Amino acid sequence: MNNLSARINFSILLFFMLSCNSPAGDENKVVSIKTSLGEIKVMLYNETPIHRDNFIKMVNSGVYDGVLFHRVINEFMIQAGDPSTNPSYSKPQRDTLAGYTIPAEFRPQFIHKKGALAAARQGNNVNPEMRSSGTQFYIVQGKKYSRNDLLALQEKINSSIRQAYFIRFIKEVADSARLSGKPLQDSEIQEIASGKMFRYLSTNPSFKYTEEQIATYVNLGGTPFLDGTYTVFGEVTEGLDIVDKIAAVSTDGNDKPVN
From the options 2.40.100.10, 3.30.460.80, 1.10.3720.10, 3.30.479.30, give the CATH code of 9-142+222-247. 2.40.100.10
Q: What is the average pLDDT value for the chain, to the nearest integer?
A: 88
Residue 7 clears pLDDT 50, i.e. is over it: no
Give the whole-angstrom CA distance, residue 140 versus residue 116.
Answer: 5
- With CA atoms as reference, report the closest residue to 70 among 135, 128, 144: 135
**Which of helix, strand or coil describes residue 96?**
coil
Stretch 113-132: mean pLDDT, rounded? 94
Where exactly are the structural domains of the chain? 9-142+222-247, 148-203
Of the pLDDT bands very low, low, confident and very high (cuts 50, 70, 90), residue 9 is very low
Sign, CA torsion 181/187/190/194: negative
Give the whole-angstrom CA distance, residue 152 versus residue 147.
Answer: 9
pLDDT of residue 213: 98
Give the whole-angstrom CA distance, residue 66 versus residue 35.
Answer: 9
Residue 81 clears pLDDT 70, i.e. is over it: yes
pLDDT in tens, 134-152: 999 999 999 999 999 999 9
Residue 4 clears pLDDT 50, i.e. is over it: no
168 vs 16 pLDDT, higher one: 168
> First-to-last CA distance in the chain?
11
Residue 255 clears pLDDT 60, i.e. is over it: yes
Stretch 47-71: mean pLDDT, rounded? 94
Residue 15 clears pLDDT 70, i.e. is over it: no
pTM of the entire predicted model = 0.85
pLDDT of residue 84: 87
2 vs 99 pLDDT, higher one: 99
168 CB contacts (<8 Å, ≥6 apart)? 128, 129
pLDDT in tens, 216-244: 999 999 999 999 999 999 999 999 999 99
